[in-house]
Structure 1
């Protein structure tokens, strides 16, 4: 938020109160984002440590390091939830398994994709700051974030459904183990090819430049701002869904690859060229070809 014109004489009464509120909105929303990201990573690391202890193969690359973390006792309720999340397919009915898988995918979306929403939130608050100077009413940026997360929550339901289908098709506990052979090669090839697609480019442009959308469709109605958040979340999903599928090839609970893909997403969205995207696509295709050759 801009630090200029803090002592406004034109704004009085409730308008001035709104202005002071919006000046706090950005740091408060940013703090909430940081807290949500930190809690998501904490839960995922705990799950990763338990996976590495119980089944190092399912934890994937880096499981040796995860085994060095202390496996501390947790509250009984959290222990029960953790046990279900580490074995969701055998947790009872298809509905309970679906809910647990959706919870896991949404945690991953929070941890991996929410950090990259910083430019979106900053741009919104900068526009809101200008609007308040003109005496306009503004909607809290948390509403925008709620819409953004709603898009990823819907995507988590889709990923959970796909995971449940795969669990019925794959032998044993392969769902949580890193996929090798043709299955892993197919996932990596899809992600690699998508990096070169026109749809990827269109979504990436929208993610990198949220100003045009936010300014052109600016609204003082909460429902409209919520829809803007959903729209930006949909562009982000269109940009990153294939990279999320890479988690099947490296192990769904592999926190090292979660962190790597999260950093990659932030770098990709803040860049200004497609070189980084094309290089990553080429590497994924080479990786897919290597897995396919090894399998035969």
Structure 2
């Protein structure tokens, strides 16, 4: 930046503070994003290890990889927290199981979906930085991220209710175990067919191009920025809800498949072609048919 750009004598003290925050917004927000993602993955990995020890079937495909994660000594308070999270493994009803299961879904959303929201945050920070250089007030990016995650928090309650509902209908042993037979085939078929839908394509286009939405509806009001986060979160949910259902077919706490789907989502949103999306849809449909044939 030139010396002229650094001359903020025309701004009041608060204006200079906002300017400095905006210039640091991207690295700070990116660091916070990475920290949240890393923490979510760490907690999910620890949960996966302990669930595999309690019920190996609940770990699902790729569970052998969990054996290579060392048994780390943790503070007593955190061990108590993990024990509570493990409570749903053998429970099929109750509000405690519901809220803990919803919390697990939300952790998965943070770990799997937040990395793909990095372009959204980067774009917002770039626009905010440009506005601050002109002396305009800006809203911190954390407000945008809060709106985005609010959508996935609400969706987590829906996913938890679905898992518990199906558990009661099929009278399964644990609702964290992979869904097999007709239930698993239906889930995979839904995810596969959705990859070919027009709604999927519309949501994917919005996720890939956040600049138009952010620039066209730019505001200095926190409530408006929060709503922008909500809107982008809804587009992301519309793009990825069916893929999240795949976790039901492979095991809800399967860290291997979480990582695989997380990378898939990131690659899908970063591309510009439908080939990758359609190929994945075809693979899911073949998987569903295979599972159905085996169950028969």
TM-score with structure 2 setting the length: 0.94
Contact 1:45 1:255 in 2 (8 A): yes
Distance 1:81 1:173, change over 3 A: farther
Matched, 1:184 2:184: yes
Per the alignment, residue 238 of structure 2 pairs with: 238
Runs of 4+ in 1 over 4 A off after TM superposition: 3-6, 89-93
CA distance in 2, matches of 1:92, 1:249: 18
Q: Which runs of 5+ in 2 are unaligned?
A: none
Cα displacement string for residues 78-99 of structure 1 (whole angstroms, at most 9, x for unaligned residues)? 2233223223265696221111
CA distance in 2, matches of 1:11, 1:124: 25
CA distance in 2, matches of 1:110, 1:34: 10
Per the alignment, residue 282 of structure 1 pairs with: 282
Contact 2:167 2:174 in 1 (8 A): yes
Per the alignment, residue 257 of structure 2 pairs with: 257
Once superposed, what is the RMSD of the aligned Cα atoms?
1.7
CA distance in 2, matches of 1:113, 1:145: 12
Query: How many angstroms does 1:12 deviate by?
Result: 2.8
Higher deviation after alignment, 273-282 or 88-97: 88-97
Per the alignment, residue 119 of structure 1 pairs with: 119
CA distance in 2, matches of 1:274, 1:10: 51
Per the alignment, residue 59 of structure 2 pairs with: 59
Query: How many angstroms does 1:69 deviate by?
Result: 2.1
1:94-105 matches, cutoff 5 A? 94-105=94-105
Per the alignment, residue 13 of structure 1 pairs with: 12
Contact 1:56 1:64 in 2 (8 A): no
Distance 1:93 1:294, change over 3 A: closer
Cα displacement string for residues 211-248 of structure 1 (whole angstroms, at most 9, x for unaligned residues)? 11111111000011001001100100000000000000
Count of matched residue positions in the alignment of Structure 1 and Structure 2 = 294
Higher deviation after alignment, 211-220 or 127-136: 127-136
- SS state of the match for residue 88, structure 1? helix
Query: How many angstroms does 1:10 deviate by?
Result: 7.0
CA distance in 1, matches of 2:28, 2:211: 21
CA distance in 1, matches of 2:167, 2:93: 13
Contact 1:89 1:164 in 2 (8 A): no
- SS state of the match for residue 24, structure 1? helix
Q: Which runs of 5+ in 1 are unaligned?
A: none
- SS state of the match for residue 70, structure 2? coil
Contact 2:92 2:164 in 1 (8 A): no
CA distance in 1, matches of 2:234, 2:5: 35
CA distance in 1, matches of 2:131, 2:163: 44
Query: How many angstroms does 1:135 deviate by?
Result: 1.8
Per the alignment, residue 229 of structure 1 pairs with: 229
- SS state of the match for residue 104, structure 2? helix
Matched, 1:193 2:188: no
Higher deviation after alignment, 261-270 or 52-61: 52-61
Distance 1:115 1:11, change over 3 A: farther
CA distance in 2, matches of 1:118, 1:248: 26
CA distance in 1, matches of 2:160, 2:56: 23
